[in-house]
Amino acid sequence: MDVETIHRDAIVIDAVAPLLQKKSYIDSYIAGGVTCVAPTVNVGNGSPAAALKEIGGWLRFVSSRRDLKLVHKAVDVEAAKRDGQTGILLHFQGSGPFATDLDLVEAFNALGVRMVQLTYNRKDYVGDGCEEEFDGGLSKFGKNLVRRLNENRVIVDCTHTGYKTTMDALSLTTRPAVFSHSNSAALFPSRRNIQDDQAKAAAATGGLIGVTAVPQFVVPAKGGAARPSLDDLIEHIDHFVTLIGIDHVGLGLDYWWGTLPFSDLDTVIREWEHYVSIGDWNPEAYPRPPHYNPPEIDTPAMLSGMTAGLLGRGYKEDDVRKILGLNWLRVFREVWGE
């Protein structure tokens, strides 16, 4: 079977898509054959009101298009594939929308939020982010939040979160937990990447690691820019497959509109300066732009390049399908139910 046929037939899940803060980019994911994509509807310590506004916009947008489907259960992803639609999975990057009220877990769950990242680089009520110098682990509120997410069958996401805080969460969770968009610190020791024991702990819950294509987390910046190849990215996939097994690796590519080619350089630099100024980004882990996506998958519309790259690397067709989406689908089924 040729690459395009395999890609077209596969369930393809990209579990992190801040690019979709600009909803017009959904057509790029559709062109790339994506079955389910997870727009970020909160970054960092956003407020409940701001998250509610974002979700309302998504609910209206999905209802306005027959080719989109809000995902609540694993069967919704399968139905989207069958019906030629693209599933939309709402994702928080950071637990700010809950403030300190755990009852908001039920509220946002009812609106379709199906995955929640615990922190976004900095300390919050839940615990410490990966950019903090000191990591005290999950707070009492954080432990209660993990329990409430488990009760509501919402996926616990440990990306952007400090080492001890993640390990506390992974030891506490009773359902599969994930790093939705993280690469290997063994290959590239960025503070945003994860250690091998973190990956093993996530796999032990039944969860997975979603590998990210964000250039500066794939390879070091050289000459002022990170320019990874697809092979550089697949090395992170190879590492995790060897470490924790083929059933625990997926895609969380993390395309976002502040990188090339989605914005001009001046806009990209302004975005970078903003996030550095508010303390969300440390220039050591987030070096000054420009940075460049692997050229084979420069945009979501080019995601068949990932299928070609994995096959070219020697992965069997069944294993390629797992990495492209079936591993995420298994986690969805185990956490959300059918």
Q: Identify the helix (H) or strand (E) that includes residue 272.
A: helix 265-277
Asked if pLDDT for residue 223 goes beyond 90, the answer is no
CA distance 212 to 178: 13
Provide the domain count of the chain. Answer: 1
> How many angstroms separate the CA atoms of 19 and 21, rounded?
5
Triad 63, 64, 68: Cα angle to 5°: 65
Q: Which two tokens stand for residue 158?
A: 């440990």
Give the dihedral of Cα atoms 281, 156, 338, 319; nearest 10 deg. Answer: 60
What H or E segment, with its residue span, contains residue 240? helix 230-244
Please compute the mean of the pLDDT values over residues 49-61 and round it to a whole number.
Answer: 97
Residue-level pLDDT at 264:
87
Looking up residue 202, the CATH number of its domain turns out to be 3.20.20.140
Bridge partners of residue 87, in order along the sequence: 36, 69
The domain of 198 spans 3-336
- Beta-carbon contacts of residue 189 (< 8 Å; ≥ 6 apart): none
Average pLDDT of the residues in 153-167: 98
Q: Which residue has the tokens 């509807």?
A: 41
Q: What's residue 261's pLDDT?
A: 85
Are 161 and 136 a contacting pair, CB within 8 Å? Answer: no
Taking the chain, what is the end-to-end CA distance rounded to the nearest angstrom?
30
Which among 102, 34, 98 has a CA at the least distance from the CA of 252? 34
Q: What pLDDT is recorded for position 206?
A: 98
Q: What is the mean pLDDT of residues 154-174?
A: 98
Three-class DSSP category at 333:
helix
- Cα 327 to Cα 231: distance, rounded to the nearest angstrom: 21
DSSP per-residue letters across 46-80: --HHHHHHHHHHHHHHHHT-TTEEE--SHHHHHHH
pLDDT tier at 93 (50, 70, 90 boundaries)? very high
**Dihedral sign from CA coordinates of 80, 85, 87, 88:** negative
Q: If we measure between CA atoms, which residue out of 107, 125, 130 comes closest to residue 181?
A: 130
Tell me the pLDDT tens digit for each residue of 245-299: 999 999 999 998 778 788 888 988 998 898 899 888 988 889 988 899 999 999 9
CA distance 334 to 71: 15
Residues contacting residue 240 through CB under 8 Å, at least 6 positions apart: 184, 199, 209, 211, 248, 249
Q: Which residue has the higher pLDDT, 223 or 81?
A: 81
Whose tokens are 């929308």? That residue is 97
Which pLDDT band holds residue 338 (cuts at 50, 70, 90)?
confident
